[in-house]
């Protein structure tokens, strides 16, 4: 189950890759900004997240390197589901959950039937093409089943949504806390998907109903954004404060530590990607990471109590903050709140690191210097980093499969015990997570996709 949830979380990142361009174009072309109606077409991405999620899950869970047929299978699955529900009950809308169901069924059908052999006269429809036929036949009765079941499920989901929203500040605290707390396991994406794209409903001026905090916020819902705003505090102020505390607490290799922390802080501030900093203290001090999770929840809670509402299209960095400021409520007040949290983060982390002698970067005993070439910032270092990682995970023979999300390599190995965590970190990894005997995640940073590609090139050359 843990392995399945890991793969599901990774799969949900595939459609999210479309959000930066879609969200930024939608906001920039709005009436209160550049007013370019044609560019508003990018909003179709946000309004069809169920289709993208179905395709992403089918691709991510399919046991094949060629993802084309699984993607088509996922699209057919969600299309038949939507049409079937519309025929039987036009008032039903499974939204993001329809995408999840369709994607899971599509992945199962592909993995089960992609090697099916048919008689010679039907051979064209066999093999990898057979799931295309099967998914249509399977999804029709599934659509019929959900036309009966979904009204009850929808009532339960609506009740949960109302409960979460009804909890007010505490509900926002809980979401923020678990968003960080589940990040080391890659499971936060599963929870985020519902809140971002399924929580609540809003009818736009064009009489279209949209769901989810992100979609509702960008479409002008005055009740959306409370579950999102706290992340601006964490990513624009909290993470840089942590980086400063680690830098100031360093006893050795201060220049290397400062360079690494500065890069990670800038990445978080501008793009909202936090893992390069978080994984420098996650395993060395679970106490600090617990406090970080608490502060993330507390940030959202404070903004809610102060009536500050803000949102983003893909990441709570400075770009989204500036672009969406006109859609916010009291968005400028987020800055003084952020500065207060900067002080809270810095004082807490500096005192815990120094008083408890936490062996973060710059305070390790007899440790080698942090990697000088930060992955994601120096293209020339990708091949070297990939070669070193391959060496320290047991070589090509130990690799079964390799994939990546925005910041991590997600690998399946014959034996994870052969992976040397210390040497992997010296090779450029920010963190290493072993999940059982076969699965491992190696936190690289924004350059994870480049490292993965070089890793595959090296494996192919050595084969």
Catalytic residue ranges: 405
In Å, what is the CA distance from 395 to each residue of 388, 417, 459, 463? 10, 12, 9, 12
Tokens encoding 125: 């429809």
Name the 3-class secondary structure at 272. Answer: coil
The total of other beta-carbon atoms located within 10 Å of residue 401's CB is 12
List, in order, residues 6 or more apart from 13 with CB less than 8 Å away: 56, 189, 405, 406
Q: Give the residue from 294, 326, 298, 299 showing the smallest Cα distance to 310.
A: 326
CA distance 231 to 317: 8
Contacts of 352 (CB under 8 A, 6+ apart): 285, 287, 288, 291, 358
Write out the E strands in 208-305.
209-211
Q: Which residues contact 197 (CB under 8 A, 6 or more apart)?
A: 49, 53, 95, 96, 211, 212, 214, 215
Extract the runs of DSSP E, i.e. beta strands, from 247-337.
Answer: none
Per-position DSSP letters for 137-160, written without gaps between them: HHHHHHHHHHHHHHHHHHHHHHHH
Tokens of 296: 């993330």
C-alpha to C-alpha distance for 327 and 396, rounded to whole angstroms: 50
| Pairing, β 399-404 against β 439-443 | unpaired
* Cβ–Cβ < 8 Å for 277, 289: no
Task: Please give the Cα distance from 442 to 463 (Å, whole number).
Answer: 23
Check: CB of residue 40 under 8 Å from CB of residue 21: no
């Amino acid at each position: 189950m843990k392995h399945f949830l890991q793969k599901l979380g990774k799969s949900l990142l595939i459609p999210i890759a479309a959000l930066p361009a879609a969200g930024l174009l939608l906001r920039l072309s709005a009436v209160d900004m550049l007013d370019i109606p044609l560019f508003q077409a990018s909003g179709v991405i946000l309004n069809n997240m169920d289709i993208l999620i179905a395709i992403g899950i089918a691709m991510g869970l399919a046991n094949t390197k060629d993802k084309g047929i699984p993607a088509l299978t996922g699209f057919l699955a969600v299309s038949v589901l939507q049409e079937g529900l519309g025929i039987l009950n036009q008032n039903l809308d499974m939204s993001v959950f329809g995408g999840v169901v369709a994607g899971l069924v599509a992945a199962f059908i592909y993995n089960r039937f992609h090697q099916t052999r048919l008689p010679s006269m039907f051979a064209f429809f066999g093999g990898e093409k057979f799931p295309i036929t099967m998914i249509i036949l399977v999804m029709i009765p599934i659509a019929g089943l959900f036309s009966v079941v979904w009204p009850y499920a929808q009532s339960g989901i609506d009740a949960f949504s109302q409960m979460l929203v009804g909890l007010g500040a505490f509900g926002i605290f809980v979401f923020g806390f678990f968003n960080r707390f589940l990040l080391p396991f890659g499971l936060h994406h599963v929870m985020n998907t519902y809140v971002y794209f399924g929580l609540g409903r809003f009818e736009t001026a064009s009489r279209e109903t949209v769901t989810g905090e992100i979609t509702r916020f960008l479409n002008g819902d005055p009740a959306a954004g409370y579950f999102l705003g706290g992340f601006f505090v964490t990513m624009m102020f909290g993470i840089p404060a942590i980086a400063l505390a680690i830098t100031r607490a360093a006893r050795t290799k201060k220049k290397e530590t400062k360079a690494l922390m500065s890069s990670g802080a800038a990445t978080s501030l501008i793009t909202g990607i936090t893992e390069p900093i978080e994984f420098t203290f996650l395993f060395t001090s679970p106490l600090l990471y617990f406090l970080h999770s608490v502060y993330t929840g507390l940030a959202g809670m404070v903004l809610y109590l102060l009536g500050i509402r803000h949102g983003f299209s893909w990441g709570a960095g400075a770009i989204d903050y500036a672009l969406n400021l006109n859609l916010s409520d009291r968005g400028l007040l987020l800055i003084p709140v952020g500065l207060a949290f900067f002080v809270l983060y810095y004082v807490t982390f500096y005192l815990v690191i120094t008083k408890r002698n936490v062996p973060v970067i710059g305070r390790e005993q007899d440790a080698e210097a942090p990697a000088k070439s930060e992955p994601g910032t120096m293209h020339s270092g990708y091949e070297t980093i990939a070669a070193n990682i391959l060496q320290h995970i047991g070589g090509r023979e130990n690799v079964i499969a390799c994939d990546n999300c925005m910041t991590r390599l997600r690998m399946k190995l014959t034996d994870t015990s052969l992976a040397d965590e210390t040497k992997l970190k010296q090779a450029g990894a920010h963190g290493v997570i072993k999940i059982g005997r076969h699965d491992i995640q190696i936190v690289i940073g924004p350059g994870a996709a480049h490292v993965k590609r070089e890793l595959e090139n090296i494996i192919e050359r050595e084969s």
